[in-house]
Structure 1
């Protein structure tokens, strides 16, 4: 029997209604495909793509996903978010990042005020106001925390459903406006408002960070090579490894192995180089080329140069608040620095870059030297795909119990909700992991699943639930929501730019990165980096991003409490 097209569609719809888990996976597939689409440099991203896909699939009607699915994935996402930024968040509470923390508070408080003002002037309900806040600042967590707070209100079931469905409607509209205009504001308009040449400022900041003596530290370690030399009399012959390396200390050349009487031997500081030896010298390509005439005659010795190298990640727990140059001079013999990762982002670094607790240093070298540096600087991450599920489970449990506590502020009852508590405990556990990295490991792939898939499933289920009433809700809010979203998202950034530049006297390159972080606008950070032709704006991004995530997420239940 051959089924008609309509019969196939009816069978598909029936399957999705009877097995809503299939509707969730269909939503993810469509949503991530929508998120990949680009118009120029603009894309909707996975979050909005999944929301729109959920709304479309939800038009089928009758798809009922157990609310527990949404809650579990949302809590995993929030815990992972806190875990990633925990070290930067607590650092932001200290004096060193006071300016960036102050800027973040100003932007986030202004964002709350603008959302409440817009809701009052336009007579929006609490669901629309929460969605407006979530979308204008691309902070999807507000959807969850505001929704949890609405469910705690003593409302009739129909009214509760209406308010909850208004959140994704307002979110979808304001997200498009918020992303587009914040990217344009910080990437293109802000440098003109501040009357600065952002590319010139980036070059000058780079020169300051790298020091007047030389090039950025980042270029040194991408050129590390090993060469074999028969030593020249006077420069190497008759001298110890310690003496030779002292001579070339500025160039950072190291003697790692030697061949004597046909046999390869490891060398120590007191090893004295002979005239018939062949020595393996490691260093920057440019430094070796410059010193080649004094090193001797280069020869081919594959066996001598074929010592296996490994790459490993070191979590910094010691030698904090010291420059990379200082650490390199004290410990860096035999290893090359490949990357510095802070808050999940690879940052540019120079000799004067100060490393912080929780930073991840990616180093390469032989096994002995890598282990030595890892033990001295912090904790050497062992390659493993295993997640500490005990750590994750207890973190979400303790955070949820903490978030259920309620307290009054000026007569207004406030609570973080269980989901908000998961975010807070993620911060604490992420910070603890940076101090004691022997437990609580969550590998990057697992963290990606918690973070990306956790949020996508939550948003997808929200779209499925709101699908049947989405179009009607959009008609009710009207096109005015686009204009309101513009003012709600742009005004706090303008206030923050003025405050940061003229009150805090922040460098404009760092300021633009800090504004992107405080507004949790990663797309805007990329735009600023493109405009400045520099990666340096990320140095202002990590601390504000950590604090901004907390404050903006907290505004969900605050808006509900103040408007109720």
Structure 2
């Protein structure tokens, strides 16, 4: 037991064991269905967390920023064409996701009697959009007649709600966008991705990126530096401050990928390297979530009962369910690979996009991911002030 305790205190041991064993578990098939390396990594990380392993949550953005930059770089080649072709549908889907999320908030607050702080925390966590907390906090600070006791309790509720619901938000989006929609609409992400890939190749022929490894670290580090700087940009809209945050790394990836497409061999990262960056960044991020939040979820159930868990599940699943139906039947996202990418984007669920890309085996889901992601990163932020002022 002492050996186990010593090992679980090593953060490096925990994160790499989570990724290694998680990959092995993810390859095991049950009736021809494999969990996948992402879910496998999460399972191992949660077990290690319950055994005493932990990881500083502040390390999560490091891995996530690498992942975001890599998927942005891959999608940068055709971003202008993608935006022109999908803008209207993306706007509609992002608005639907925001309204469906608002409906879900109303339901959980009415039937589970949540405080405003808990509602803000759960909403931000379940939608994996921490900017909601920032916009809600700005609104709370602007209300001068609030007693200090309310503010103190509000801050505690926000922290607790977010720490529990974020776990469900990340995993729920991955499972829904990469697995559930296949069963819901009786189609295969892989088959649908193959179906349209040749059309994309004809419209936008692939270009050579070069394979020189000497550029990779230089381009990656400078891309992440630019992404961090972009993340500090703040825009004031309708009385709410919107900050790009870690999304800046996605935007810098798009920019670098687009520049390399227009001027080859200037900002080169080979496809093999971007694949590694995506796989490593996503796996490490999921391991970090499991290690930092796994035991907290168990503690949250014991402390709050099932109310917070139920609210987190509802806030995670209901918006995705409504948006899936509207997207498939109303907006004509009949291709499941594109539907999965669009849903992940509208839910700002970047980890889900990584799993969908792996399942598709090509870049087709990215054609529908980027624009809704950017739009929803703005739209969902307004839920914070709405909860504080009107609910």
Per the shorter chain, which TM-score range?
Answer: 0.7 to 0.9
CA contact (8 A) 1:83 1:427 kept: yes
Offset of residue 64 of structure 1: 4.6
1:39-95 C-alpha deviation (Å, 9 max, x unpaired): 34544333333233222211123x45344532221211111111111123221223x
Q: Supply the distance in 1 between the matched residues of 2:41 and 2:299 (Cα, whole angstroms).
A: 20
1:552-563 superposed matches below 5 A = 552-553=376-377, 557-560=381-384, 562-563=386-387
Tell me, which stretches of 5 or more residues in structure 2 are unaligned?
110-117, 142-150, 345-351
Q: Supply the distance in 1 between the matched residues of 2:241 and 2:380 (Cα, whole angstroms).
A: 13
Offset of residue 555 of structure 1: 5.8
1:203-282 superposed matches below 5 A = none
CA contact (8 A) 2:337 2:364 kept: yes
CA contact (8 A) 1:414 1:561 kept: no
1:357-506 superposed matches below 5 A = 359-360=205-206, 380-417=208-245, 419-474=246-301, 475-478=306-309, 482=313, 485-501=316-332
Q: Supply the distance in 2 between the matched residues of 1:416 and 1:52 (Cα, whole angstroms).
A: 31
Between Structure 1 and Structure 2, the one with more helix by share is 2
Q: Supply the distance in 2 between the matched residues of 1:126 and 1:349 (Cα, whole angstroms).
A: 44
Give the structure 2 partner of residue 92 of structure 1: 82
Q: Supply the distance in 2 between the matched residues of 1:406 and 1:512 (Cα, whole angstroms).
A: 35
Q: Does 1:349 align with 2:198?
A: yes
Q: Supply the distance in 1 between the matched residues of 2:364 and 2:178 (Cα, whole angstroms).
A: 19
**Using a 3 Å threshold, how does the CA distance of structure 1 residues 466 and 66 change in structure 2: closer, same or farther?**
closer
After superposition, the CA RMSD in angstroms is 3.8
**Using a 3 Å threshold, how does the CA distance of structure 1 residues 445 and 133 change in structure 2: closer, same or farther?**
same
Q: Does 1:16 align with 2:8?
A: yes
1:111-122 superposed matches below 5 A = 111-122=97-108
CA contact (8 A) 1:73 1:458 kept: yes
Offset of residue 421 of structure 1: 0.9
CA contact (8 A) 1:416 1:557 kept: no
**Using a 3 Å threshold, how does the CA distance of structure 1 residues 481 and 167 change in structure 2: closer, same or farther?**
closer
Task: Return 441-450 or 146-155, whichever deviates more.
Answer: 146-155
CA contact (8 A) 2:209 2:270 kept: no
1:3-61 C-alpha deviation (Å, 9 max, x unpaired): xxxxxx322212321x2221111221232233323334544333333233222211123
TM-score by length of 1: 0.54
CA contact (8 A) 2:135 2:240 kept: no
Q: Supply the distance in 2 between the matched residues of 1:167 and 1:11 (Cα, whole angstroms).
A: 32
Q: Does 1:133 align with 2:127?
A: yes
Q: Supply the distance in 1 between the matched residues of 2:320 and 2:291 (Cα, whole angstroms).
A: 26
Equivalent residue of 1:414, what SS?
strand
Offset of residue 118 of structure 1: 0.7
TM-score by length of 2: 0.75
How many residue pairs end up in the alignment? 353
Give the structure 2 partner of residue 233 of structure 1: none
Equivalent residue of 2:242, what SS?
strand
Q: Supply the distance in 2 between the matched residues of 1:560 and 1:53 (Cα, whole angstroms).
A: 33
Please tell me whether Structure 1 or Structure 2 has the larger radius of gyration of its CA atoms.
1
Offset of residue 478 of structure 1: 4.4
Give the structure 1 partner of residue 166 of structure 2: 168
Q: Does 1:550 align with 2:350?
A: no
CA contact (8 A) 2:187 2:336 kept: no
Equivalent residue of 1:519, what SS?
helix
Q: Does 1:38 align with 2:29?
A: yes
Offset of residue 543 of structure 1: 2.2
Between Structure 1 and Structure 2, the one with more strand by share is 1
**Using a 3 Å threshold, how does the CA distance of structure 1 residues 386 and 68 change in structure 2: closer, same or farther?**
farther
Q: Supply the distance in 2 between the matched residues of 1:35 and 1:64 (Cα, whole angstroms).
A: 22
**Using a 3 Å threshold, how does the CA distance of structure 1 residues 441 and 131 change in structure 2: closer, same or farther?**
same
Q: Supply the distance in 1 between the matched residues of 2:27 and 2:280 (Cα, whole angstroms).
A: 15
